[in-house]
Structure 1
């Protein structure tokens, strides 16, 4: 349901869903809540003058979500600005990733995209100084850092917030041993942000590259990753530069990840061809299915096929595949929290692994049993 709505939001040539079809909008709203894309949908509808063409209950529900996201993002922006000023003062080079700056730049409003954490790209050589800067702002709860991962997380409690706010210090965009991507390319093409000297912003090219990799890393398990990519395509248009992107991905050994991600997005939203033509042949064996991610809590066989494909088949080299499998077996604490669907940071890493393996085992066992039931 909601896919049809998003398609119509972006493409005025498509028929608009009947405002009197309450069942359609109820199902669409359920999908929107499931994928946590209420703020994106609300802002896109309002921006395009389409909000009033939806039922009142739909408008009110989306507005409530948007308001909640707006207040949270304003709080996060305040913390992000403090972080930028602290890094600038300390002479530490830094690039904000995704977050409120991404929402403001590419969506046009701070509340247009839900943000939960602060992600910062730093140089590995500045890690110690960056940690000191982060801790000086109260982010003193430190997660265990796994040497093969590419980020380190620090959290602090916020007044009135039920979960801590986390800052992730990244020194790369991909896990070590899973590609030949060189982070120096990102720094070489970054530009200074506003009036800062040490705070920079990703180039448009690397922003699109990063957002595609981010969607892949999360198995395109939510429509929010689709909307990020779609919004960038509509914003950048011919500046997307697919020839350069695919050539770079081939050199970085991320070609399968980038190409399959884009193929899936274009298959689900074919009107993108009218904005920027995708120079890739169409394939049917993409092993991705909307119903599988929408019903992931039911642990369908399709969900597991989709999930395992991302871990086993999306690497250009076999050694990168092995590294990807090891990451799946021993994910970071943040990735464990994402998979378990919780935000508490107080458990030991060993306990988290036990809970993760328990969930995976019982979910897979239940899936096999359900699919064997006549």
Structure 2
């Protein structure tokens, strides 16, 4: 979640909703909230929370109209995505292939209570490693013919198809793991063994509450909590499943998978912004993130980046591996970081990348 200036307004607003406090904001402040909510693309979740806590009528009419209008668009998109997802899982069921839909529409329905209560844009499926090829075949037969270039060491592949009237294709991500295998000891088989039946299917499963919470922690870490969506997702999982989640089990699982630092880093940040969670699901091991206590340190943003990029790992070998990958990224990673101005010569791209990094640091020092 953005941390600067007026962005603090949004977590304060969300805290007030959950604590059922008066939403006594001025009209100007509500206009600012609209901008923040739009930037974070969490209109559906905010509308859901306000309705759930019977606070929507406390907000101005223009604010309500904005949330309802944007949420309606998300609903139509989600219904289309759900239809496409159902075609895929129905076919995988016929092929007797085990699959666990993750995040997306199913997550929104279970934890936010409605197909349109959480906007989504793609379809994510977890399958067993040995069945990836067969799943790719099935998904391609359903029209998802465009296959993205794979990234070495990654844990999913992506297929997409063009949608009439939409500039953005619909993407299906086929996961054989939930994190990079080079820096965890995570075994996807555990998720399948504890998965729950899904809507009468035999081979289509749903992540257990414990594994959903664990996965959403890791997913939020992987994106460095760069959106309010990650906070709201974790809050909602805790809200719905707090009596099914045992903190000790989560931490023991993370310790076993060498993801403990990642889980603690994520939860420390989330609980810092939303302290009411301590009353819902206590984690005594958490403490305020160091970067919240030291706001005046020079180059704080770079220190935070270093902490996230290299010190979020339990194993020294994993830290060294990530340092090497940052210094010598693969071709695809270089192109992603450069964004624009790429050259056909890989050597020139590396030079541009290092110059871009040095320039960024120099600007921060001035």
TM-score by length of 1: 0.86
1:17 offset after TM fit, Å? 2.7
Distance 1:53 1:71, change over 3 A: same
The partner residue of 1:124 within 123, 129, 136 is 129
Contact in 1 for aligned 2:269/2:288 (Cα 8 Å)? no
The partner residue of 2:210 within 205, 228, 239 is 205
Partner Cα separation in structure 2 for residue 332 and residue 243 of structure 1: 40
Q: Does 1:7 align with 2:15?
A: yes
| TM-superposition CA deviations, 1:293-334 (whole Å, max 9, x none) | xxxxxxx95444333321111000111123334555647969
Residue 18 of structure 1: aligned partner: 24
Contact in 2 for aligned 1:95/1:201 (Cα 8 Å)? yes
Distance 1:360 1:162, change over 3 A: farther
Distance 1:289 1:31, change over 3 A: farther
Distance 1:367 1:71, change over 3 A: farther
Please, which moves more after superposition, 3-12 or 360-369?
A: 360-369
Q: Secondary structure at the match of 2:264?
A: helix
Residue 280 of structure 2: aligned partner: 275
1:354 offset after TM fit, Å? 7.9
Distance 1:10 1:105, change over 3 A: same
Contact in 2 for aligned 1:190/1:200 (Cα 8 Å)? yes
Distance 1:126 1:332, change over 3 A: farther
Partner Cα separation in structure 1 for residue 293 and residue 345 of structure 2: 31
Contact in 1 for aligned 2:125/2:173 (Cα 8 Å)? yes
Residue 293 of structure 1: aligned partner: none
Residue 234 of structure 1: aligned partner: 239
1:26 offset after TM fit, Å? 1.8
Contact in 2 for aligned 1:8/1:16 (Cα 8 Å)? yes
1:365 offset after TM fit, Å? 2.0
Q: Secondary structure at the match of 1:309?
A: helix
Contact in 2 for aligned 1:266/1:272 (Cα 8 Å)? yes
Distance 1:352 1:205, change over 3 A: farther
Distance 1:65 1:331, change over 3 A: farther
Unaligned runs of 5+ in 1: 291-299
1:340 offset after TM fit, Å? 7.7
Partner Cα separation in structure 1 for residue 95 and residue 217 of structure 2: 32
1:363 offset after TM fit, Å? 6.8
The partner residue of 1:319 within 311, 317, 327 is 317
Q: How many residues align?
A: 355
Q: Secondary structure at the match of 1:6?
A: helix
Residue 363 of structure 2: aligned partner: 369
| TM-superposition CA deviations, 1:121-143 (whole Å, max 9, x none) | 01111111101101001100011
Distance 1:330 1:165, change over 3 A: farther
Contact in 2 for aligned 1:39/1:112 (Cα 8 Å)? yes
Q: CA RMSD for the aligned pairs?
A: 3.0
Partner Cα separation in structure 2 for residue 210 and residue 115 of structure 1: 17
Contact in 1 for aligned 2:291/2:300 (Cα 8 Å)? no
Please, which moves more after superposition, 362-371 or 167-176?
A: 362-371
Aligned residue runs from structure 1 range 1-374, under 5 A: 1-12=9-20, 15-19=21-25, 21-286=26-291, 301-325=299-323, 328=326, 330=329, 361-362=355-356, 365-366=359-360, 368-372=362-366
Distance 1:304 1:68, change over 3 A: farther
Partner Cα separation in structure 2 for residue 31 and residue 288 of structure 1: 25
Contact in 1 for aligned 2:108/2:118 (Cα 8 Å)? yes
Please, which moves more after superposition, 48-57 or 135-144?
A: 48-57
Residue 297 of structure 1: aligned partner: none
Q: Secondary structure at the match of 1:365?
A: helix
Q: Secondary structure at the match of 2:126?
A: strand
Contact in 2 for aligned 1:144/1:349 (Cα 8 Å)? no
